[in-house]
A and B are shown apart, each in its own frame.
Chain A
Amino acid sequence: MIRFVLRRAVAAVPIGVLVTLGVFALVFAMPGDPLRELAGDKPIPAAVLAAKRAQYHLDDPFIVQYLLSMKDILTGHFGTTFAGADIADQLRLRIPVTLKLTLLANAVQWTLGLFFGIYAGFKRNGWVDRSLLLATLVLLAVPGLVAYFAAQYLFGVELKWFPVSGVLEGFPRSYLLPALVIGVLGFAGLARLLRTSIVETVNADFVKTARAKGLGEQRVLWRHILPNALLPVVTFIGLDLAGMFGGAIITESIFNLPGLGQFMFQAIKLKEGGVVVLLSTLAFISFILINLLIDLLYGVLDPRVRNV
């Protein structure tokens, strides 16, 4: 297993280089001058522009800029953003915010998804199953932006059950409403996947064998069907969780949560290649780690694919 983990870690290095280089190239290729974007409509004297350009290496060729950024990331000398923020400070502030939001949102999503998925899978074509199908269609059709503002207005402004925005009330209160909305918008997909997976497994030969051996229905469901049906769901959950570590840009903006998503948005707006690459690297690393965990978990659930 250690060999497997090491192999994965080594394989991640070239992928990491490709990803960071690609992201940096995308930011570099974006039209417009970052310093102008920062200044808005105000004129900036030539001397100030030149000094700022030099400070942020904007005069250097693409590959030099990329290497300088990577050097900063690898040595931990993050420096400051164009707007003057200390990047290390920002990470210390923002990583916990994104972590709390992601974990809470996923907790909501998994709870709802697993509960409704299992119920619908075991009681096919019952009213829960049918409502779930309807709910899936409705929830998938609601744009996040609308749902977030509607929830904020209804539960924050009108009913005052939750804070409207910000993190002043701390964890979990400040994170509950955005996490609930993310969870409710996202659980339907998970539930549908689990239901389908259960339906497929129910007809598998080993389930028939188990029934033929006279095992009780509850035991067949929980010990034979569910572990097998969960395999694709674990993959789905892993990808979903990893994706959310990149930061939920729209949610964080609407609920004014100072997480990585808002940081990423500011950096893209100002074409700050260094910051975008730093955040992409963080997202990449968490993606690799979570995938590794998922693969190891697979082995636990399914001995056939155990990586020894």
Chain B
Amino acid sequence: MALGLTLVLASCGDGKSSGSGSGSGSKSEVIAIAADPLEYINPLNENGSPGIQVAMAMFAPLVTTDPETGKLQNVMADSVTPDKTSQTWTIKLKAGNTFQNGQPLTAKDYVDSWNMTAMGSNAWKNNGFFSKVDGYDALNPPTPDGATPKPTAVKTLSGLKQIDDLTFSVKLKVPFSQFGLTLQYLGLAPLPEEVRKNPDAYKRKPIGNGPFKLAADWNAGDDIKLAKWDGYKGPLVPQADEITYRFIANADTAYNEFLAGNVDFVDVPSTKVKSFKTDAPDQWVTSISSGANYLVIPAWDPRFKNPKLRHAFSEAIDRKAFADLVGLSEPAKGLVAPDMAGYRDNACKYCDFDATKAKQLLQEAGGFSGPLNINYNTSSATGQIFAEAIGNMLRQNLGLTVKYTGKQGSEITELADSHKLDGLRFSGWGHDYPSIEDYLTPMFKSNGDANFAQYANPALDAVLAKGDAEPDPDKAIKLYQQAEDIALEDMPLIPLYTKSNAYLHSAKIEPRVSKFVGVSALWATFK
């Protein structure tokens, strides 16, 4: 305890100069993150938004989306080339890049880092990314319930091959035309050899290859202070010289810190959606969308089997009113987010509010007997309100009896996974890489990673596979749109709304706002 006291007292000295009023000519900003403090920085073992956000400053991806044009742009990669079938991809790195410890960045660093992540017994969070790569199953053998996964004899993905110092190739299990897009995921960043040897020793002193490095020791409870790293030669160099990430778990407190002038950038919490424009006039920006939100109809429940019933539910929902209730939202007109290439604002034929048509469809479907249960997440402040709003629309427009059940989010997921969840629930999805495929495959492919409704349709799977094998991007989009049409006819998920995110920024910075990649404080311009 005595040791603890000295630690805390010792740390009181620094930090006072942080905040927005430095004015010394150096471009510094304090970014508030409304989350519990990070305990380590390792992009390969990180899939949460706070961790990825910080890692984005310290690590650089292979490729990225150009914020101006929305086109794919090389960062660490010099070229990413698929073979004719899009099954084997050759990645050539730019020469001359190094890690922050001075070691050159080579193909071996990527191959070894990826193999480490793909090894199931390491339990790193981005393991799932490599399930598409040839040889993944050998590193992730099925483990009997209760057994501890042992490191496998095979240590490397058979699909991953180093060709020379700067070139390596990835062979996928099946052709996948979107693979190049997935490479912009920051969770694929490389770790240098010294970190790979003992990742635990580097939890709090990451060595990246990106534009910023740690400016000071980072101990438990400290802000993360970053300084510009001169060795970064990639494109898209941020203007800031110094960035401080401050973790404030309570989002309303973070918002108050902004109003007091102590931080330069903060997310607007859901409780302030109605007031932020008057609280901070001229100091807010909004993104186009942060993904799409749905009402999930369980595909395993025979009561909901008839597509006409699902369409009746969809027609009975007044999306405009619902989006107004949510705030900062637009009614959904399809299954993918509106900022995606391939989004159509007339994709859904059953999403216009029409109570008469809804009643007629319900009748054609043979009605719905018994009370309809709507599940909501009790840990969300708005869960119950949204459930009751949807419930009231279905009750008034279709004459259904509706009841509501509140549960913890993780319990709802668990019940749904075992087909024991009764009735409807809410869900949302945001893409990991900007392709409409990243909406359709996870949510609608049989056994997809995020197939909330446990929906399966071989026809849709076949169209998706065709799109995955189509090297021409425009033709691939057409095929994915066909898949979206099938999903809308079957409607396992009812599209509800797409929501914008709002952010506040101090007068000295202007966050980068892109139609394609959203709002970023990291790439803010300084006034």
Q: Are A92 and B4 in contact (CB under 8 A)?
A: yes
- Please, which residues of chain B bring their CB within 8 A of the CB of A96? 1, 4-5, 7-8
Assuming the contacts A32-B410, A96-B1, A153-B256, asked whether A46 and B220 have C-beta atoms less than 8 A apart, the reply is: no
- Please, which residues of chain A bring their CB within 8 A of the CB of B249? 253, 256, 262
Choose one: A32, A164, A170; the contact of B256 (CB below 8 Å): A164
B-facing residues in A166-224 (Cβ within 8 Å): 166-171
Q: Are B12 and A169 in contact (CB under 8 A)?
A: yes
Assuming the contacts A40-B48, A45-B131, A85-B220, asked whether A167 and B414 have C-beta atoms less than 8 A apart, the reply is: no
- Please, which residues of chain B bring their CB within 8 A of the CB of A23? none
- Please, which residues of chain B bring their CB within 8 A of the CB of A302? none
- Please, which residues of chain B bring their CB within 8 A of the CB of A171? 8-9, 12
Q: Are A164 and B262 in contact (CB under 8 A)?
A: yes
Interface string of A87-100 (1 = CB under 8 A from B): 00111110111000
A294 vs B443: C-alpha distance in the bound complex, in angstroms?
Answer: 61
Q: Are A36 and B414 in contact (CB under 8 A)?
A: yes
Q: Does B407 contact A (CB under 8 A)?
A: yes
Nearest A residue (CB) for B253 = A165
Choose one: A46, A47, A91; the contact of B121 (CB below 8 Å): A47
11 contacts between A and B (CB under 8 A): A44-B128, A45-B140, A47-B143, A81-B39, A93-B221, A157-B256, A165-B253, A168-B15, A171-B8, A253-B253, A262-B36
Q: Are A93 and B259 in contact (CB under 8 A)?
A: no
Q: Does B449 contact A (CB under 8 A)?
A: yes
A156 vs B257: C-alpha distance in the bound complex, in angstroms?
Answer: 9
A171 vs B5: C-alpha distance in the bound complex, in angstroms?
Answer: 11
A253 vs B248: C-alpha distance in the bound complex, in angstroms?
Answer: 8
- Please, which residues of chain A bring their CB within 8 A of the CB of B442? 43
A46 vs B148: C-alpha distance in the bound complex, in angstroms?
Answer: 12
Assuming the contacts A32-B408, A168-B15, A258-B37, asked whether A47 and B250 have C-beta atoms less than 8 A apart, the reply is: no
- Please, which residues of chain B bring their CB within 8 A of the CB of A46? 140, 142-143
- Please, which residues of chain B bring their CB within 8 A of the CB of A91? 4
Q: Are A256 and B248 in contact (CB under 8 A)?
A: yes
Q: Does A24 contact B (CB under 8 A)?
A: no
Q: Does A48 contact B (CB under 8 A)?
A: yes
Which of A49-57, A131-139, A231-239 touches B? A49-57
Interface string of B422-440 (1 = CB under 8 A from A): 0000011100000000000
Q: Are A95 and B16 in contact (CB under 8 A)?
A: no
Which B residues fall within an 8 A CB radius of A? 1, 3-5, 7-9, 12, 15-16, 18, 36-37, 39-40, 47-48, 120-125, 127-128, 131, 139-143, 145-149, 203, 219-221, 246, 248-250, 252-253, 256-257, 259-260, 262, 379, 407-411, 413-414, 427-429, 442, 449-450
Assuming the contacts A36-B414, A41-B428, asked whether A47 and B127 have C-beta atoms less than 8 A apart, the reply is: yes
Q: Are B121 and A84 in contact (CB under 8 A)?
A: no
Q: Are A170 and B12 in contact (CB under 8 A)?
A: yes
Number of interface residues of A (CB under 8 A): 60
Q: Are B7 and A93 in contact (CB under 8 A)?
A: yes
- Please, which residues of chain B bring their CB within 8 A of the CB of A306? none
Q: Are B128 and A157 in contact (CB under 8 A)?
A: no
Assuming the contacts A156-B260, A169-B16, asked whether A93 and B8 have C-beta atoms less than 8 A apart, the reply is: yes
Interface string of A55-87 (1 = CB under 8 A from B): 100010000000000000000000011011110
- Please, which residues of chain A bring their CB within 8 A of the CB of B250? 165, 253-254, 256
A262 vs B125: C-alpha distance in the bound complex, in angstroms?
Answer: 25
A81 vs B427: C-alpha distance in the bound complex, in angstroms?
Answer: 28
Q: Are B1 and A41 in contact (CB under 8 A)?
A: no
- Please, which residues of chain A bring their CB within 8 A of the CB of B449? 43
Q: Are B145 and A59 in contact (CB under 8 A)?
A: yes
A200 vs B318: C-alpha distance in the bound complex, in angstroms?
Answer: 65
Nearest A residue (CB) for B144 = A50
Choose one: B16, B203, B221, B414; the contact of A32 (CB below 8 Å): B414
Assuming the contacts A31-B407, A83-B39, asked whether A51 and B122 have C-beta atoms less than 8 A apart, the reply is: yes
- Please, which residues of chain B bring their CB within 8 A of the CB of A163? 262
Nearest A residue (CB) for B427 = A41
Q: Are A54 and B256 in contact (CB under 8 A)?
A: no
A276 vs B204: C-alpha distance in the bound complex, in angstroms?
Answer: 25
- Please, which residues of chain B bring their CB within 8 A of the CB of A34? 410
- Please, which residues of chain B bring their CB within 8 A of the CB of A262? 36, 249
Q: Does A119 contact B (CB under 8 A)?
A: no
Closest chain-B Cβ to A290's Cβ sits at a distance in Å of 16
- Please, which residues of chain A bring their CB within 8 A of the CB of B429? 41
A148 vs B294: C-alpha distance in the bound complex, in angstroms?
Answer: 36
Closest chain-A Cβ to B442's Cβ sits at a distance in Å of 8
Nearest A residue (CB) for B14 = A168
Closest chain-A Cβ to B364's Cβ sits at a distance in Å of 34
Nearest A residue (CB) for B137 = A47
Closest chain-A Cβ to B377's Cβ sits at a distance in Å of 11
Closest chain-B Cβ to A41's Cβ sits at a distance in Å of 7
Of A44, A47, A52, A269, chain B has the most CB atoms within 10 Å of the CB of: A47
Choose one: B15, B123, B257, B407; the contact of A48 (CB below 8 Å): B123
Of B139, B249, B414, B449, chain A has the most CB atoms within 10 Å of the CB of: B249
A267 vs B142: C-alpha distance in the bound complex, in angstroms?
Answer: 30
- Please, which residues of chain B bring their CB within 8 A of the CB of A85? 39, 220
> Which A-B residue pairs are the 4 nearest by beta carbons?
A47-B120, A170-B12, A32-B410, A51-B123
Q: Are B140 and A47 in contact (CB under 8 A)?
A: yes
- Please, which residues of chain A bring their CB within 8 A of the CB of B12? 167-171
Nearest A residue (CB) for B415 = A31
Of A30, A46, A50, A171, chain B has the most CB atoms within 10 Å of the CB of: A50
Assuming the contacts A93-B8, A171-B9, A256-B253, asked whether A48 and B120 have C-beta atoms less than 8 A apart, the reply is: yes
- Please, which residues of chain A bring their CB within 8 A of the CB of B145? 59
- Please, which residues of chain B bring their CB within 8 A of the CB of A253? 249-250, 253
Closest chain-A Cβ to B408's Cβ sits at a distance in Å of 5
A262 vs B379: C-alpha distance in the bound complex, in angstroms?
Answer: 16
A253 vs B141: C-alpha distance in the bound complex, in angstroms?
Answer: 42
Q: Are B8 and A55 in contact (CB under 8 A)?
A: no
Q: Does A149 contact B (CB under 8 A)?
A: yes
- Please, which residues of chain A bring their CB within 8 A of the CB of B15? 168
- Please, which residues of chain A bring their CB within 8 A of the CB of B219? 89
Q: Are A48 and B125 in contact (CB under 8 A)?
A: yes
